Amino acid sequence: MSIDKNTNEGKNYRNNVVKSTSGTSKSRINTGFPEDISVLSPMMKEYVKTKEEYSDCILFYRLGDFYEMFFEDALTASRELEITLTGKDCGLEERAPMCGVPFHAAETYINRLIEKGYKVAICEQVEDPKKAKGLVKREVVRIVTPGTTLDTMSLDESKNNYLMSIVSIGEHFGCAIADITTGDCFLTELDKPQKLLDEINKFTPAEIICNDAFLLSGVDVADLKGRLGICVFALDPWYFDDQLCQKTLKEHFHVGNLEGLGIGDYDSGIIASGALFLYLKETQKTALSHMASIRPYSAEKYMLIDSSSRRNLELVETMREKQKRGSLLWVLDKTKTAMGARTLRSYVEQPLIDAEEIEKRLGALEELNAKPMDRDEIREYLNPIYDLERLISRISYKSANPRDLVSFASSLEMLPYIKQILAEFNSPLLTQINEDMDPLSDITALIRNSIADDPPLAQKDGGIIREGYNEDVDKFRRSRTDGKKWLSELEARERDRTGIKSLKIKYNRVFGYSLEVTNTFRDLVPEDYIRKQTLTNAERYITQELKDLEDLILGAEDKLYALEFELFSDIRDQVGAEVVRIQRTAKAVAALDVFASLALVAQRNNFVRPKINETGLIDIRNGRHPVVEQMIENDMFIPNDTYLDNHKKRISIITGPNMAGKSTYMRQTALIVLMAQIGSFVPADSANIGVVDRIFTRVGASDDLASGQSTFMVEMTEVANILRNATSRSLLILDEIGRGTSTFDGLSIAWAVIEHISNTKLCGAKTLFATHYHELTELEGKLSGVNNYCIAVKEKGDDIVFLRKIVKGGADKSYGIQVAKLAGVPDSVIQRAKELVEELSDADITAAVKDLTAPKKKQKITYDQLDMAQMSLFDTVQDNDIIEEIKNLEIGNLTPMEALNILYNLQNKIKNRW
């Protein structure tokens, strides 16, 4: 299903709620309904009415042990799910198309449909109070969409399943994000499409609901679907009505005003949140009591990592295989609980920028590693703890079964032990965790006293309630067991009376209890036996006495099961009422799990606690790549130093042959900085890390053929984004900028980029720049802050040996042909390449380099052109501050490259103001 179709259907979503339903006959045609529904059977009439109300959903219509789909839905479902299509006689001459899925397997089928972008409305049988007892009607009990699925089988427990609501108002975006499986909910506001995109990339929601304006805001919606698999539904405008949104939030959170929730200042954020809750109420049809709080969230509190850098650094999954193994998270995640895994993932995706907060996390790790026995004991107690967050959500949804409650209690029973150990810890975060961790002993006691130790899975099968909890339950149970005794007494008596040795009392769901007589003894059957059922080898009978006994026994059983279910529901509601305490405790457990995991990983891998500074110094001694070192056997990873500061060592130009380890080295630096800001120890002998506000990377070729962009276009788009957004507090990792085009253009672009970055007025970010353009080493000494490094190799005859060690100075050769030889390129080709390299003079390149650094007056034409560019910029601009900047630009005093850079930046600035 395409985005357009989704969004168009989304617009009509539940249009009957607010709009007039003038489209009734249209929707009949759309869904393949007959024009005249009066000819339909009563059940089909009921179906058609429901379908009209939920016209944008596939309707799963409960009939007995199946969910059935009809008409257009049946055609879609049979096509998408590859299930058999049959026909249903519904009072028409023609049969209506129909298909169905078994009730017990429905979750899987629903999930497959929503993965493809459909919404599914689940229509269940419910008792109709207006009709006679036992008669049912059907109603839609829930709508399932990608962001609202509760399917435990398909959801990744180590990842949040977010629903994101976006409202685009003028230049601004209001944004609310919720995970209904955990109750997590927060809101924010953003002022640029790029910032919004960064947040979408960070949280990768399963579903976005939005207003129409968002679709026109410049965000590439098709790309969100194609690249990130996000379903986007545009909702009717009424969802975003300011007053309605405020009212919805006040009602949901039971507050008189929104200031009380701490979100009063967020105008568009409130609208996005209001729309989100309206949507949830429409689809979930439950009180959502587990969504007990909403918090403001500020992207500025975290390190900004754009989407391509997230991919390049392989933070939570690898670039190619899209799997966790091989990512940073894979190294760091030794958590014991699902909550801990989700929290760690969010830490990795959102490194901190507040030095004090980072130190607090590092302090917690340090203390845990100072007491390794306690740390490991804590991890033992964490091990059996279930996903409390998702359990409490299921309790609120009333979908938790008796076994879930027992698991819940056994999880809570671990808490006092953990608290006891934590009481001995002093670091601020661990103390805080201990305070937040409520042992919840009252809830454990409630569950343990009421629910049996090993209750059945099905809630209506009895055996849920513990002996001694409720007098009536015990009484019904006794009469049931006594009843069994009465039955066997009756059986023995009848055997004696009739002389039928094989006589047995049997039970069957339809016919109840009966006396079974095999055909051999049929002649001995007495007159007072009434025949009930004929089997192949036997007959079944009933007597008045057996009938009376059956009424007594089955009556007790029915009453017992009903009472047990009632009591269980009540206990589940009592647990659900404690949602706030439980969620706070779950958060504390998750954080503790993360710290214990990070501490253990640090100890096992010889990581060290980094020093954190705010002066901008990055000084890493013997740093290692956290992931590559795991992949290389026998501790063969060669460590390297990194030194960057805000003064003379801002930009490192790194040369060296292919395969030498340039990319590994640069990524390792970025990852060490990032790990430190997560609050993790780092793979190095020592590290002093100046907090960075953003990490940008441009690494390797990441073709984006799907979006129709060439490799070079993707590269330049990323470079443009980096240059526009990097600050003097950022860290840039630039790998072979310009290699995707001709040598001249590539070298010139790389050169200009370094000039731009080294200019502290324009950028000034700390940068690692790997390149095969040896000409760039000319820049050392000419541009402030630029230093050359290379990765050492040793020549051994015709071959090279990689030393993997970074040393001061530039490499003089590229050794491309030697690396090609190593890779197994045929000897004849290697030989020919050697000849060619000798023949090809690199004079052109050298001349070009000379041109770029040549005295300015020799380039008169260029200066004329630059003057014209300055004038034309001046003519287009309206902002006074930019006018001043253009006026003050003394082009004659700059190199052409510098002048071009400044004009380019001014042009961008003007564009951004538009």
Ligand X SMILES: Nc1ncnc2c1ncn2[C@@H]1O[C@H](COP(=O)(O)OP(=O)(O)OP(=O)(O)O)[C@@H](O)[C@H]1O
Strands 119-127 and 512-518: unpaired
Per-residue 3-state assignment (H helix, E strand, C coil) for 396-453:
HCCCCCHHHHHHHHHHHCCHHHHHHHHCCCCCHHHHHHHHHCCCCHHHHHHHHHHECC
| Tokens at 619, concatenated | 């000084």
* Site for ligand X contains 661 (CB under 6 A): yes
Please state at what angle helix 242-253 crosses helix 267-284, rounded to 10 degrees.
70
Torsion of CA 702, 708, 711, 713, to 10 degrees: -120
* Site for ligand X contains 662 (CB under 6 A): yes
Residue 428 beta carbon to ligand X: minimum distance, rounded to whole angstroms: 37
Q: Is 699 helix (H, G, I), strand (E, B) or coil?
A: coil
Task: Tell me, rounded to whole angstroms, the distance of Cα 451 from its chain centroid.
Answer: 34
Beta-bridge mates of residue 471: none
**What's phi and psi for 561, nearest 5 deg?**
-65, -40
| Tokens at 747, concatenated | 């070298």
869: annotated binding-site residue?
no
Q: Which is nearer to ligand X, 287 or 632 (CB)?
A: 632
Residue 167 beta carbon to ligand X: minimum distance, rounded to whole angstroms: 44
Which residue stretch of 354-362, 473-481, 519-527, 634-642 sits at the interface with ligand X (rule: CB under 6 A)? 634-642
Residue 814 beta carbon to ligand X: minimum distance, rounded to whole angstroms: 9
Q: Which is nearer to ligand X, 514 or 664 (CB)?
A: 664
Residues 111, 115, 121, CA angle at the centre, nearest 5°? 55
Q: What is the total count of residues that contact ligand X (CB under 6 A)?
A: 14
Which one of residues 632, 825, 837, 847 is an interface residue with ligand X (CB under 6 A)? 632
Scan residues 340-369 and list those touching ligand X (CB under 6 A): none
* Site for ligand X contains 664 (CB under 6 A): yes
Beta-bridge mates of residue 767: 651, 732
Nearest to 720 by CA among 704, 696, 744, 736: 696
Q: Which is nearer to ligand X, 29 or 631 (CB)?
A: 631
820: annotated binding-site residue?
no
Site string for ligand X, 419-458 (x = CB under 6 A): ----------------------------------------
Inter-CA distances, 699 with 7, 351, 658, 910, 913, Å? 35, 20, 14, 29, 30
663: annotated binding-site residue?
yes
* Site for ligand X contains 659 (CB under 6 A): yes
Q: Which is nearer to ligand X, 634 or 841 (CB)?
A: 634
Q: Which is nearer to ligand X, 346 or 664 (CB)?
A: 664
Which one of residues 464, 638, 732, 800 is an interface residue with ligand X (CB under 6 A)? 638
User: Largest Cα–Cα distance in the chain?
Assistant: 128
CA 504 to CA 517: how far, in whole Å?
A: 7
Which one of residues 525, 628, 869, 897 is an interface residue with ligand X (CB under 6 A)? 628
- Round to the nearest angstrom and report the end-to-end CA distance of the chain: 35
* Site for ligand X contains 312 (CB under 6 A): no
Residue 453 beta carbon to ligand X: minimum distance, rounded to whole angstroms: 53
38: annotated binding-site residue?
no
Q: Is 175 helix (H, G, I), strand (E, B) or coil?
A: strand
Q: Which is nearer to ligand X, 402 or 740 (CB)?
A: 740
Which residue stretch of 81-89, 219-227, 614-622, 630-638 sits at the interface with ligand X (rule: CB under 6 A)? 630-638
Residues 246, 249, 253, CA angle at the centre, nearest 5°? 145
Rg (CA), the chain: 35
Which residue stretch of 378-386, 506-514, 635-643, 724-732 sits at the interface with ligand X (rule: CB under 6 A)? 635-643
- Output DSSP code: residue 709: B
Residue 739 beta carbon to ligand X: minimum distance, rounded to whole angstroms: 9
Which residue stretch of 494-502, 541-549, 659-667, 703-711 sits at the interface with ligand X (rule: CB under 6 A)? 659-667
Which residue stretch of 342-350, 392-400, 545-553, 661-669 sits at the interface with ligand X (rule: CB under 6 A)? 661-669
Q: Which is nearer to ligand X, 628 or 830 (CB)?
A: 628
Q: Which is nearer to ligand X, 624 or 694 (CB)?
A: 624
Q: Tell me which H or E stretch contains 522.
A: none
Residue 656 beta carbon to ligand X: minimum distance, rounded to whole angstroms: 6
Q: Which is nearer to ligand X, 630 or 658 (CB)?
A: 658
Nearest position to ligand X, beta carbon: 661
Nearest to 113 by CA among 149, 163, 65: 149
Inter-CA distances, 196 with 192, 200, 204, 553, 694, Å? 6, 6, 12, 64, 16
Residue 658 beta carbon to ligand X: minimum distance, rounded to whole angstroms: 3
Q: Which is nearer to ligand X, 97 or 683 (CB)?
A: 683
CA 856 to CA 558: how far, in whole Å?
A: 98
Scan residues 776-815 and list those touching ligand X (CB under 6 A): 804
Which one of residues 663, 680, 697, 901 is an interface residue with ligand X (CB under 6 A)? 663
657: annotated binding-site residue?
yes
Q: Which is nearer to ligand X, 278 or 731 (CB)?
A: 731
DSSP3 helix / strand / coil % (the chain, rounded to 5): 50, 20, 30
Which residues here bind ligand X, judged by CB under 6 A?
628, 632, 636-638, 656, 658-664, 804
Enumerate the known binding-site residues: 656-663
Enumerate the known binding-site residues for ATP: 656-663
